[in-house]
C-alpha cells in the first residue's frame, strides 16, 4: 500500500463534522523543535496509533496535554492540518506520523482542576493521575 498523508484515507466523514482527539504529551516533547514547521505531536505509524492518525481529517480538533510549572498542566488546542510520515529512531526501526496544525489556544491550569474539568477530565483516571495512553478519539 502506498503511504499517504493522514486524512486521505478517510474522506467519508461529512466535512462539517469535526472530531476531537486527546493527545498525551506528558513527556513534554518539543515537537516543533524536533520536526520543525507546525508539528505539534508524533505517533507510531503502526497499531492503534496508526489507525487513529488515518482517521483524522483537516479541521479536526486536537487537545494536547503537557506538564507545566509546579502542579499545573498545559492544554493546547490545535486545528489539525495534516500528518507526515517520518523515519523513527534507527534503533526502533519504526516509522512515525508527525501531526501538524495551527495552535488555537493554550491554557495552563492546576492539575486537580483539569482532572475535574468536563472536557479535560478524559486525560485523567479516577484518582486524578494522568492516563497512560497516547491518543484517544472522542466518541
Q: For residue 99, list its beta bridge partners.
A: 41, 83
**pTM score, whole prediction:** 0.87
> Phi first, then psi: what are they for 17, rounded to 5°?
-105, 110
Residue 16: per-residue pLDDT: 63
Query: Given CA atoms 41, 42, 48, 53 in this order, what sign does their dihedral have?
Result: positive
Please tell me the class of the 20-137 domain: alpha beta
Contacts of residue 134, defined as CB under 8 A and 6 or more positions apart, other chains included, come to 23, 24, 43, 49
70-124 pLDDT, tens digit each: 999 999 999 999 999 998 776 778 899 999 999 999 999 999 999 999 999 999 9
Q: Where are the domains of the chain?
A: 20-137
In which band, very low, low, confident or very high, does the pLDDT at 18 lie, cut at 50, 70 and 90?
confident
Cell 523513527, residue? 88
Amino acid at each position: 500500500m502506498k503511504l499517504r498523508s493522514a486524512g486521505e484515507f478517510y474522506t467519508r466523514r461529512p466535512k462539517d463534522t469535526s472530531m476531537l482527539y486527546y493527545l498525551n504529551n506528558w513527556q513534554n516533547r518539543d515537537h516543533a523543535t524536533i520536526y520543525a514547521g507546525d508539528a505539534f505531536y508524533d505517533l507510531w505509524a503502526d497499531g492503534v496509533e496508526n489507525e487513529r492518525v488515518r482517521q483524522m481529517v483537516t479541521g479536526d480538533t486536537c487537545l494536547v496535554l503537557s506538564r507545566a510549572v509546579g502542579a499545573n498542566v498545559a492544554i493546547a488546542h490545535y486545528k489539525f492540518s495534516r500528518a507526515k510520515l517520518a523515519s523513527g529512531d534507527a534503533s526502533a526501526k519504526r516509522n512515525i506520523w508527525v501531526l501538524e496544525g495551527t495552535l488555537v489556544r493554550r491554557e495552563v491550569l492546576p492539575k486537580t482542576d483539569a482532572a475535574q474539568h468536563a472536557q479535560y477530565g478524559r486525560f485523567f483516571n479516577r484518582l486524578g493521575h494522568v492516563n497512560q495512553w497516547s491518543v484517544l478519539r472522542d466518541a
